[in-house]
């Protein structure tokens, strides 16, 4: 048989072999076993990878982190992810665009949804750093950190520290409820008297309180007095 | 069409691009790349619009650079292989004018799809000033890339080597911030002493010659606007210097060739 006549059979045989390779490879996931690469890029390495367009790399890496564990034929629960790696990557990506809210949103609305308080606490640590570097724009992420520390990480002392940092931020457009956060956390810690002191100080010093806000704070203080610091009353 | 009659070499290049279906191929590739970017942008938790615009802009820039480098390199090889260049040289115009005509044609071929990409992104860019800056610097960037590839192709005469040279140039020019950062942090060199010094001089020399394309077409401008005008000014100066320099190098090489 000439080579020319044999060629169709060779092609069919090779196509069959290709289907065999495809079948054998179906269960094989690309990449290594790690959900997120173990070493986040340094700022210099990230700059090299960006090829002069930091914003493009920021968005690509943020999407890559969004789909971590779920994009190569696996579904990895958050509890099985290595959070120190994830926080390192969040910080590396954040450095490429400190203005955008994509990475903190990813931290709050995805990675902080873990049911493991220790993992949530690590995300809170990231948000703490993110929230304080540009108070006017980023204060809300520190407010998220307070919520997460209190309700998800079950770490009231940490929540109180964060709430005090939040209340002290020099953010002109921050609403009064953010400055009330220490009072709410103190209340949750059973320190109603201290909470009333914080609330009273805000009421006395905040210049532009709306009537509704002032009425809420007055009622809060009144109820505190009536209950003598007992549990209950107005709280978020 | 009047401009093509007045500048026939320029018209020839544009006609060749049309004949080779460059614009159609780029259009399909750009549509796929930008469509994919919109799809992936929708996967973002927040800022889906911004993410889609940035991914589309970055993908389009890469498609344009690779597509145009390939086109220029293959066209110049065709000029040599078909001896078309000898026909062109037989015309009553000097070799520098021939190179200028080819460069003008390649620049027009590069700018047209860049403008189309910019117009496609315009409705979705949150910052109009940032979009304008991105669009102008994208056009300038692709012009510099095609002019380098033209010079490389005229010197090297082979499409494969010219394509690789063009892509290597693009990567190096886009890495200039990193390269210059390495020079500034010379103490981090693995090789110390005289070796480190020499490596530093080499890197500095490369940095001095290669255009700063890392200052062009920042997709961050599309979403945050222009926070610092310095890169824009340097990009303008860079185009004003690099474009005539590359044309002059190509003209010098062609003027020394014998046919």
CA A209/CA A176 separation, integer angstroms: 8
Asked if A217 and A203 count as a contact pair (C-beta separation under 8 A), the reply is yes
pLDDT band at B187 (very low <50, low <70, confident <90, very high): low
pLDDT, average across residues B88-96: 85
B223 vs A contacts (CB less than 8 Å): 55, 100
Select the more confidently predicted residue: B182 or A68.
Answer: A68
CA B193/CA B56 separation, integer angstroms: 45
A102 vs B contacts (CB less than 8 Å): 44-47, 50-51
pLDDT recorded at residue A26: 78
- Closest alpha carbon to A139 in A115, A181, A173: A173
CA B196/CA B203 separation, integer angstroms: 10
B45 vs A contacts (CB less than 8 Å): 66, 102, 105-106, 109-110
pLDDT recorded at residue B186: 59
pLDDT recorded at residue A222: 87
Beta-carbon-side half-sphere exposure of residue A101 (alpha carbons within 13 Å)? 15
pLDDT recorded at residue A34: 63
A100 in reach of chain B (CB within 8 A):
yes
pLDDT recorded at residue A29: 64
Listed in sequence order, the DSSP H helices in chain B are 2-6, 8-19, 22-41, 48-81, 84-89, 95-121, 128-156, 159-174, 176-184, 193-209, 220-224, 230-256
pLDDT band at B191 (very low <50, low <70, confident <90, very high): low
Q: How far is B107 from chain A (nearest CA, A)?
A: 22
DSSP B41-54: HTTSSS-HHHHHHH
pLDDT recorded at residue B204: 80
**Site from A59, A93, A97, A99 to mutate, B interface, most B CB atoms within 10 angstroms:** A59
First to last CA, chain A: 86
pLDDT, average across residues B79-83: 91
DSSP class of A236: -
Asked if B229 and B192 count as a contact pair (C-beta separation under 8 A), the reply is no
Q: For each of chain A's 236 residues, which pLDDT tens digit applies?
A: 688 889 889 999 999 999 998 888 877 766 555 667 777 888 878 888 888 899 999 999 999 899 887 766 678 889 888 899 999 999 999 999 999 999 999 999 999 999 999 999 999 999 999 988 889 999 999 999 999 999 999 999 999 999 999 999 998 888 889 999 999 999 988 888 888 888 888 888 887 888 888 888 888 888 887 776 445 455 55
Percent of chain B at pLDDT exceeding 70: 94
What residue in B sits closest to A55 (Cα-Cα)? B220
- Closest alpha carbon to B253 in B105, B144, B150, B106: B150
pLDDT band at B185 (very low <50, low <70, confident <90, very high): low
What residue in B sits closest to A52 (Cα-Cα)? B214
Do B45 and A66 count as a contact with CB atoms less than 8 A apart? yes
pLDDT, average across residues B32-55: 93
Q: What is the pLDDT of residues B98-144, one digit of tens each?
A: 999 999 999 999 999 999 999 999 998 888 999 999 999 999 999 99
What residue in A sits closest to B212 (Cα-Cα)? A52
Do B214 and A99 count as a contact with CB atoms less than 8 A apart? no
Among candidates B44, B58, B177 on the partner chain, residue whose Cβ is nearest the Cβ of A56: B58
To the nearest whole number, what is the mean pLDDT of chain B? Answer: 90
Among candidates A56, A60, A102 on the partner chain, residue whose Cβ is nearest the Cβ of B47: A102
pLDDT of B231 strictly over 90: no
Does the structure's ipTM exceed the value 0.85?
Answer: no
pLDDT recorded at residue A203: 86
pLDDT recorded at residue A192: 86
Do A105 and B41 count as a contact with CB atoms less than 8 A apart? no
DSSP class of A29: P
- Closest alpha carbon to A55 in B152, B56, B66, B197: B56
pLDDT recorded at residue A1: 67
pLDDT recorded at residue B202: 81
Q: What is the pLDDT of residues B145-169, one digit of tens each?
A: 999 999 999 999 999 999 999 999 9
Asked if A195 and A213 count as a contact pair (C-beta separation under 8 A), the reply is no
CA B237/CA B240 separation, integer angstroms: 5
CA B45/CA B35 separation, integer angstroms: 19
Give SS3 for A13. helix
């Amino acid at each position: 048989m000439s080579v020319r006549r044999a060629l169709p059979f060779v092609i069919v045989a090779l196509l069959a072999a290709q289907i065999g390779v495809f079948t054998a490879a179906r269960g094989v996931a690309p990449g290594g076993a790690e959900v997120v690469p173990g070493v986040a890029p340094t700022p210099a390495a990230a700059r090299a990878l960006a090829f002069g367009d930091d914003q493009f790399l920021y968005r690509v890496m943020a999407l890559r982190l969004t789909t971590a564990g779920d994009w190569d034929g696996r579904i990895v629960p958050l509890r099985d992810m290595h959070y120190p790696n994830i926080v390192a990557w969040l910080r590396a990506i954040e450095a490429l665009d400190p203005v955008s809210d994509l990475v903190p949103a990813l931290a709050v609305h995805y990675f902080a949804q873990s049911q493991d308080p220790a993992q949530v606490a690590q995300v809170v640590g990231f948000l703490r750093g993110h929230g304080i570097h540009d108070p006017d724009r980023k204060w809300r992420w520190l407010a998220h950190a307070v919520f997460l520390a209190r309700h998800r990480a079950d770490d009231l002392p940490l929540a109180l520290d964060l709430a005090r940092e939040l209340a002290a931020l020099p953010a002109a457009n921050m609403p009064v409820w953010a400055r009330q956060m220490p009072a709410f956390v103190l209340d949750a810690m059973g320190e109603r008297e201290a909470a009333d002191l914080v609330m009273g100080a805000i009421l006395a010093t905040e210049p532009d309180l709306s009537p509704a806000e002032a009425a809420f704070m007055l009622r809060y203080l009144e109820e505190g007095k009536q209950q003598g610091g007992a549990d209950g009353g107005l709280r978020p | 069409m009047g401009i093509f009659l007045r500048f026939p070499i320029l018209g020839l290049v544009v006609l060749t691009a049309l004949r080779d279906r460059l614009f159609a191929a780029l259009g399909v590739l750009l549509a796929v790349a930008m469509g994919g970017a919109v799809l992936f942008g929708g996967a973002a938790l927040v800022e889906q619009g911004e993410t889609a615009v940035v991914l589309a802009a970055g993908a389009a820039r890469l498609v344009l650079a690779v597509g145009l480098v390939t086109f220029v390199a293959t066209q110049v090889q065709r000029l040599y292989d078909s001896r078309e260049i000898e026909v062109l040289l037989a015309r009553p115009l000097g070799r520098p004018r021939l190179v200028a005509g080819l460069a003008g044609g390649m620049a027009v071929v590069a700018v047209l799809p860049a403008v189309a990409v910019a117009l496609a992104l315009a409705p979705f860019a949150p910052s109009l000033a940032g979009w304008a800056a991105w669009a102008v610097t994208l056009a300038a960037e692709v012009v510099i890339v095609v002019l380098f590839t033209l010079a490389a192709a005229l010197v090297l005469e082979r499409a494969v080597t010219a394509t690789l040279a063009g892509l290597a140039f693009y990567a190096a020019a886009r890495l200039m911030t990193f390269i210059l950062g390495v020079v500034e942090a010379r103490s981090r060199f693995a090789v110390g002493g005289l070796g480190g010094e020499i490596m530093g001089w080499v890197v500095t020399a490369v940095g001095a010659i290669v255009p700063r394309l890392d200052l062009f077409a920042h997709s961050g401008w599309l979403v945050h606007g222009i926070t610092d005008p310095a890169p824009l000014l340097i990009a303008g100066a860079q185009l004003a210097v690099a474009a005539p320099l590359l044309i002059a190098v190509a003209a010098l090489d062609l003027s020394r060739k014998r046919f």
